[in-house]
Chain A
């Protein structure tokens, strides 16, 4: 009894502040641990067990070190009033000058509805108008790096940063949407035979999701001819798709004015948000969802962590301008909308990732760093086979499957397949009176019997085994005829 007390007393008692900190650290740790630890108790190999134990400890230490590094999101936008009634002018007054420079409208009336895309670090933006106006803008200094007017807008063209046309990709014909996979250096395009313009790439695993007019979403990978998944999402045609950066949430909007949030692990609806007919959807790095409808952009946020999206902010641009594309700027609290008369940029506090990683995407990249990064990303180029629904399966071993005996139907099917293949053989045409019909029929019969022979032999073996077993059982209860009269029948009184 005394020993127990001693043991209890010697346990470490942390001061209250340290207790809180350690609890916080634990929750943060989960993010860096990337799944559960291995079950080492089930291993019998002592050497392997020892080695894995050391490795697991190392992982724990590295996760702790990573969790300590995290500075924590320090962005909040609390509203005494409702957040979705706050207008951009009110925000301009509260934030500093540098941030207020991120709110602007650029009006270019002649050259068609504008669409835009950002580089992964958020430093550069490429915009293009339908009528052929292409521009590359440096977002840090708001400088126009390159501007050109292209004459042909049918096929996809690849230009370098000096505006020189490098390639023309005519194979796919007239393409309506392009998406780039940066880890694989692959370009996905969809043309008019796809009969849809809704195509989006899931950044988590690289699969291409296409929304169809029947309300289905199909997901594709480059190495298979059939789609990976076909989900029935909406009652009407799909108008927009977007993927959450964590890889298992998808937002889809249908013509019937509903936005649905899907969990891609279970392929189930998590939430339905009625009342929006969004032509374009986008998720931010922190999980805010922007929906662009007509000339109004709505931003929805999930603040309780339970995938329950509610209104966060909204913005309406000048009446009559139609929003074509909404896109969050990476690593900044900015939402840029491309519309029919140019593009506009607004502030959405809390949407961007505050801490960037220099080796992943650096908004302050120098040209030397950019060159090095390009070479490293080419060295780490992933083969197209790595595009799959569950990318965490790479590097794992397939579970050992015990080979089962083929069922009767399978054996029958194999037999029939063998017979069919034999029937197709063309027999030699003989001349000089040797080509009698009866002989040909006999020959065919012989061939078919030969093809069936191995299956019949196997069947005989099986039957022989079964009969042998039965015989063994039977012999015990079978008496010679002379003794049969002495067998007592159970029914006797």
Chain B
């Protein structure tokens, strides 16, 4: 007879010295784990609740301006700094870590409408309603030693005066050209005092401009005549124009998929387009209850942040129709500009109440260096919560956000209006010959036409 019995020697299964790690043996057989789904569900519920407990997105406010903040600019070479310009002409460079002003750039007489930094981070360009474009050199020493904190005013390198007020400015990625908009789109070089090139299409003011991060010669602008126009610098004529039903306040290109851009519109939604196919929106992002003022993409290209006239900041997934997060404070008034920090962890919002506010991109994220065990635990919690987030109990906790009363009411009202319109449309369809009334898809509905 052949016999073999389980016999485990203690040395094989325990550690030799107390400095060694404990030995771990695995058997993934489902039979050893009764009720594993119930355990996972309980863990998902607890993970959702813990996430809500640790959700503290607001980090701090940067106080200093004395008028509403109209524009912000990120420094591509320096993670800790952000430029902000206000309605009284005050431009400041902030150190985000200490939330203090590093230096100021006085000079503008009226509101500063546009701010942008060159790709190497050494030059700052600003434009305003006093018809001037000013070029500043960013003090490198000041940015490195932020505790120097001297509010030393800096002299402008150059001041270029134009004929009309300027509305926006943006710098080319990797090149040395920048574009300003106002009455028309003008392309400048740093050294020349006159624009190198001018584009004009129609007679309305162009209110925002953005260069494409992947294709440095491509830029998108939005104008007062409710249009979005694409320009190519290599051609001397504008490329393509898209006319919508309402005005676009701001445009942002997706840094990971540079052919796609998202436009923040006056009709409370954001429209994502593929630049090659402008006759239909790729995605419509609806959640705001008032005009969307500014939009910025995360460097991961997977989500973007929007600031709106309804005093809230929302974060949307790049392909999702609804926001995954909303930030609001009693003290934050109309949000005019938002920026996603270059490490995709923070959001900076500039608003009407003269403050810049720093928020976390993921509200319950633990900041700082995480141990590998902590990281694994966070990843596991996230994964198990995502597995069960469609079930009612977990969904209720994950989805829950406190909304300020006016926004809640406005949302309800919009919901009622939309439902009523839908019902009317359905009834009209039901009472007319089949096929006579065609509903247009949401993605096409707001577009009037595309012009070559």
Partner of B38, one of A78, A96, A382: A382
User: Is the CB of A74 closer than 8 A to any CB of chain B?
Assistant: yes
**A78 vs B23: C-alpha distance when bound (angstroms):** 33
Q: Is the interface of B mostly helix, strand, loop or mixed?
A: loop
For A364, the chain B residues whose CB sits under 8 A away are 8, 10, 13-14
B4 touches A74 (CB 8 A): yes
Which of B3, B23, B26, B390 has the largest number of chain A CB atoms within 10 A?
B3
A386 touches B35 (CB 8 A): yes
- Range class of the B interface residue count: 35 or more
Q: Is the interface of A mostly helix, strand, loop or mixed?
A: loop
Give the contact stretch, choosing among B39-47, B111-119, B259-267: B39-47
Known contacts A333-B6, A357-B25; A183/B1 CB under 8 A: no
Partner of A78, one of B1, B25, B28, B40: B1
Residue-by-residue, is B6-40 near A (CB-CB < 8 Å gives 1, otherwise 0)?
11111001100000001111111111111101111
- Range class of the A interface residue count: 35 or more
User: Is the CB of A95 closer than 8 A to any CB of chain B?
Assistant: yes
User: Is the CB of A77 closer than 8 A to any CB of chain B?
Assistant: yes
**A176 vs B217: C-alpha distance when bound (angstroms):** 85
User: Is the CB of B405 closer than 8 A to any CB of chain A?
Assistant: no
Known contacts A355-B27, A357-B26; A79/B34 CB under 8 A: no
Residue-by-residue, is B370-389 near A (CB-CB < 8 Å gives 1, otherwise 0)?
00000000000000000110
Q: Give the distance to chain B from A11, nearest Cβ to Cβ, in Å.
A: 31
For B34, the chain A residues whose CB sits under 8 A away are 183, 203-206, 245, 247, 391
B1 touches A70 (CB 8 A): no
Partner of B3, one of A74, A77, A363, A383: A77
User: Is the CB of B319 closer than 8 A to any CB of chain A?
Assistant: yes
B37 touches A394 (CB 8 A): yes
B1 touches A394 (CB 8 A): no
Known contacts A331-B6, A356-B27, A380-B43; A369/B22 CB under 8 A: yes
**A73 vs B137: C-alpha distance when bound (angstroms):** 73
Residue-by-residue, is A305-342 near B (CB-CB < 8 Å gives 1, otherwise 0)?
00000000000000000000000000111000000000
For B42, the chain A residues whose CB sits under 8 A away are 380-383, 386
User: Is the CB of A34 closer than 8 A to any CB of chain B?
Assistant: yes
User: Is the CB of A45 closer than 8 A to any CB of chain B?
Assistant: no
- The B-contacting residues of A in range 402-429, CB under 8 angstroms, are none
For A349, the chain B residues whose CB sits under 8 A away are 3-5
User: Is the CB of A395 closer than 8 A to any CB of chain B?
Assistant: yes
Q: Give the distance to chain B from A77, nearest Cβ to Cβ, in Å.
A: 5
- The A-contacting residues of B in range 36-69, CB under 8 angstroms, are 37-43, 46
User: Is the CB of B402 closer than 8 A to any CB of chain A?
Assistant: no
For B39, the chain A residues whose CB sits under 8 A away are 183, 380, 382
User: Is the CB of A358 closer than 8 A to any CB of chain B?
Assistant: yes
Can you offer 18 A-B residue contacts whose CB atoms are under 8 A? A34-B30, A77-B1, A77-B3, A80-B1, A204-B35, A206-B35, A245-B31, A355-B29, A358-B26, A360-B27, A364-B10, A366-B22, A380-B39, A382-B39, A391-B34, A394-B38, A395-B37, A397-B390
